[in-house]
Amino acid sequence: MCALAVEEVVQESVRRFLSKPRKMLIDGHWVDAASGKTIAVYNPATGEVLVQVAEGDSEDIERAVRAARRAFESGPWHRMTPSERGRIVWRIGELIDEHAQEFSELESLDNGKPLKIARIADIPLASDQFRYYGGWATKILGNTIPFSGAGEFHAYTLREPVGVIGQIIPWNFPLLMAAWKLAPALAAGCCVVLKPAEQTPLTCLYLGELLQQAGVPDGVVNIVPGFGETAGAALAAHPDVDKVAFTGSTEVGRLIVQAATGNLKKVSLELGGKSPNIVFADADVESAIDGASDAIFFNHGQCCCAGSRLYIEKSIFDKVVEGVAENAQEIQLGAGMDASTQMGPLVSQEQLERVSSYAEAGLAEGAEAICGGRRFGDRGYFFEPTVFINTKPDMKVMREEIFGPVVTAAPFSDLDEIAAQANDTPYGLAAGIWTKDVAKGHRLAQKLRAGTVWINCYNVFDASLPFGGYKQSGWGREMGHEVIELYTETKTVCLKL
Ligand code: ADP
């Protein structure tokens, strides 16, 4: 584990960033919380405080919403040509790339993920969102609708920005989740109040400085760090917010929906999952083993789409389980900033306790951990990659989202049986299928009630691919063209000629 102090492993600009309490961004100004309070942000590899961050609450949300409303109603964002707006959104992506090393270091320190993963995954995926949606700004179109006989009416639709958007994001991919939300909202011409997760506000605040450099006008993006029950709840309930976009747990998703009823604001939700990953005997077994391992262990299992239920055709069950367990045991745990680290700590003490209690429940209910099952070390929030066998469908570890590096493995014997088992969950975010029989893969893909189905791959993301959940995994889709619909209203204009 990393023996060096934070100051010794980061570059000068990051050291400076961490050297003083960070403020929040409201109306183009960096300000303290109205209450003057701050939140301690921890390094999950050591449990030590990295920096203090302004703790926003309902008063700060009020100021931020007012700024966003003013920017939306009268400000230049709305009046700017789509081409100019697109260029600014694109420029944000360029600036993220120019500062990729700083972002990676902050993300690794704050969230715990390995620096090299932040560098090759989180940061370039985030910058790509801005480039992709920069391109969309000029391509948000309505239709002409020839409903009448020739010459009687002229009717068409416009797609207009929804207005002021509250965006509430989680801690597992802090910058990337901000990018998923900000990039399409900005391209569509909306103004935003963004609340990062209390555990991981640093890269969002760093991004705030670049937004200003890119030319985003004051008030168009306001960033208010704070706790969910205070700042988050105030944003979700605010009567002058037109839409709330949330990513997080299904439990909090329900609270968001309730809070939104006051002014019936629009709601989109990207929630939890318990995704099945299905390996057929005719798969390329070696790549299925590696794919199944990545599906659960990537980002320490802290992915809403983690392949946490592994179903393996009976004849190859032992081989695949042994392969995944071997991979699990070879994973090098350590501080994210260590070059040799393959898996960092969980994000927080709370998360460590949560994952540990699920592992204990699995053992108490009769599952067998063929590897892992425990905390790793006694400093920081590390948890061993864990593979459970001898599971039953009604066990807690089979039904509930653990959000840690814990996979359950179960055998199956035919396609209809496995489709039913895979769908036996309140969630429907993602699924994986491993087979060389293309027809079988597509047939099963159609039977699975999930927003994304990966065949012979897992965790493949692109700004162009819509992502979101069936059932209790959410409302609406992020990315692709679909998300543009979430940030625009349709206006029908009908003229009698
Ligand atoms: P997790 O369980 O993974 O921490 P949460 O769903 O609790 O995920 O948190 C995701 C985001 O939702 C965070 O930004 C958090 O602060 C926020 N949040 C938590 N509770 C509420 C709430 N009652 N209202 C609005 N936002 C909330």
In this prediction, residue 263 carries a pLDDT of 98
CATH fold for the domain made of 3-271+474-493: Aldehyde Dehydrogenase; Chain A, domain 1 (3.40.605)
In the chain, DSSP finds a helix count (H) and a strand count (E) of: 19, 19
The two three-digit tokens of residue 91, written as one number: 């420029």
Residue whose CB lies within 8 A of the most ligand 1 atoms, among 173, 230, 252, 381, for a mutation test: 252
Backbone angles phi, psi at 154, to 5 degrees: -125, 115
In this prediction, residue 120 carries a pLDDT of 98
Point out the ligand 1 atom lying closest to the alpha carbon of residue 403.
Answer: 3
Q: Would you say residue 2 has pLDDT above 50?
A: no
In the predicted model, what is the mean pLDDT of the chain? Answer: 97
pLDDT band at 98 (very low <50, low <70, confident <90, very high): very high
Q: Would you say residue 180 has pLDDT above 90?
A: yes
**pTM of this prediction?**
0.98
**432-456: pLDDT as tens digits:** 999 999 999 999 999 999 999 999 9
Q: Choose, from 190, 204, 304, 305, the residue flagged as catalytic.
A: 304
Angle at 138 between CA 133 and CA 141, to 5 degrees: 105
Backbone angles phi, psi at 245, to 5 degrees: -115, 120
Determine whether 251 is an active site residue. Answer: no
The residues of the chain that CATH labels 3.40.605.10 are 3-271+474-493
**289-336: pLDDT as tens digits:** 999 999 999 999 999 999 999 999 999 999 999 999 999 999 999 999
Q: How large is the greatest C-alpha to C-alpha distance in the chain, in angstroms? A: 78
Q: Choose, from 107, 270, 384, 478, the residue flagged as catalytic.
A: 270
Rounded CA-CA distance 142/188 in Å is 13
**37-79: pLDDT as tens digits:** 999 999 999 999 999 999 999 999 999 999 999 999 998 897 8
CA-closest candidate to residue 473, choices 308, 350, 293, 341:
308
Determine whether 304 is an active site residue. Answer: yes
C-beta 232 within 6 A of ligand 1? yes
CATH fold for the domain made of 276-463: Aldehyde Dehydrogenase; Chain A, domain 2 (3.40.309)
Rounded CA-CA distance 466/476 in Å is 9
**186-221: pLDDT as tens digits:** 999 999 999 999 999 999 999 999 999 999 999 999
The residues of the chain that CATH labels 3.40.309.10 are 276-463
Point out the ligand 1 atom lying closest to the alpha carbon of residue 198.
Answer: 16
In this prediction, residue 1 carries a pLDDT of 45
In this prediction, residue 148 carries a pLDDT of 84
Rounded CA-CA distance 48/38 in Å is 16
Rounded CA-CA distance 280/233 in Å is 44
CB-side exposure of 481: number of CA atoms within 13 Å? 5
**Strands in 264-342 per DSSP E:** 266-270, 276-279, 309-313
pLDDT band at 4 (very low <50, low <70, confident <90, very high): low
> Between residues 459 and 10, which one has the greater pLDDT?
459
**126-155: pLDDT as tens digits:** 999 999 999 999 999 999 999 887 789 999
Rounded CA-CA distance 128/94 in Å is 9
Residue nearest to atom 21 of ligand 1 (CA): 228
C-beta 170 within 6 A of ligand 1? yes
